[in-house]
Structure 1
């Protein structure tokens, strides 16, 4: 059994990153970690959401998932962030969540948290890697430890695998064009393993 507390923090408009978060949760529980799945606060006007059936359906599907807070960051030993790309960077919803953590950052409460990230876009070169790297830039400022997948398992050479973090393309109907479940689960378990080493070293 792992003694790691894992927060899986996502933003999802069409459901893809919610699914990635669910697979990360599954892997975390398989590894024995205590897992919280959390969404970041939606900032888009309700009228805009109502005009997009996929977005509206995702909001409904995730309505009972708690909104991530600073307390969740303090609680977690490890965090996995999952968000779609918006013009090559993370969406404003995820960025705001990170931006309002100045209080806990200033008091050193983000130091040595183990973090990893995942993303999606509508084509294979739509900015997924840049989005993941934009998340990691913030994590460097936090003093966090980035647990990138690297090429640490054969699964990373297949669907969704890359050295930065799992990324997936979706078609015009919002369906994933690759099965990236194994890549997500490897990434989550690697993140937990690294967090275990960090916790052991701090004891």
Structure 2
């Protein structure tokens, strides 16, 4: 059975919610999907004062976990047009896997969130995809088979580079049904491709 890892960082729960949708899509394609998160780097008192969502049930990943999956989809919110330090710090520790070629040929993908419609989502996705390509991975975006990303009758995320959501300036907007459908679609496509490549 194809194994998919959905690896994420989420300060306020938006990306955590998207990660569940990505995993659901992978499972719908017949894959086994695990959801794990990267370690928090912010001191606990700062995280509490900033109202971070600290009750996330996903286990914290170890770098060596990455070698055991056929597909790895990474998600995190934008930090001024790039991935946040928590995810970057985790991926920076994968030098040994890179040196071994342990991730070569695996399927990868990225998803993100921002406060505003044009808050650096595509730049952030590209910053994550660059890491995946350096690891030798085959990248799956959100292709136009998911027509929801072309919707103009509602405010919605979605990009050919990966699934996205918009949180609103105060973080009160959670992922919409359309955005979750996009995340699920991306997870399904990644699992399907990983299964084909494993044949």
Q: With the length of structure 1 as denominator, give the TM-score of the two structures.
A: 0.90
Q: Equivalences for 1:92-107 in 2 at 5 Å?
A: 92-107=85-100
> Matched residues in 1 for 2:27 and 2:107: separation?
17
Aligned to 1:59: 54
> Matched residues in 1 for 2:117 and 2:148: separation?
18
Structure scoring higher RCO (CA < 8 A, sep ≥ 6) equals: 2
Aligned to 2:186: 187
Equivalent residue for 2:127, pick from 122, 125, 134: 134
Equivalent residue for 1:162, pick from 155, 159, 162: 159
Q: Equivalences for 1:32-51 in 2 at 5 Å?
A: 32-51=30-49
> Matched residues in 2 for 1:156 and 1:139: separation?
23
2:29 matched to 1:31? yes
2:74 matched to 1:81? yes
Q: With the length of structure 2 as denominator, give the TM-score of the two structures.
A: 0.92
Helix, strand or coil at the partner of 1:79 = strand
The Cα shift of 1:177 comes to: 6.5
Q: 5+ unaligned residues in a row in structure 1: which ranges? A: none
Q: 5+ unaligned residues in a row in structure 2: which ranges? A: none
The Cα shift of 1:87 comes to: 0.9
Q: Is the 8 A contact 1:90 1:135 kept in 2?
A: yes
> Matched residues in 2 for 1:83 and 1:193: separation?
23
How many residue pairs match? The answer is 193
Equivalent residue for 2:65, pick from 52, 72, 95: 72
Helix, strand or coil at the partner of 1:59 = coil
Helix, strand or coil at the partner of 1:123 = coil
Q: Is the 8 A contact 1:151 1:162 kept in 2?
A: no
Q: Is the 8 A contact 1:80 1:117 kept in 2?
A: yes
**Residues 133 and 173 (structure 1 numbering): CA distance in 2 closer, same or farther, change over 3 Å?**
closer
Deviations along 1:6-47, one digit per CA (max 9) or x if unpaired, are 000000001000000011122222222111100000000111
CA-atom RMSD in angstroms: 1.4
> Matched residues in 2 for 1:190 and 1:141: separation?
21
> Matched residues in 2 for 1:128 and 1:98: separation?
19
The Cα shift of 1:130 comes to: 0.6
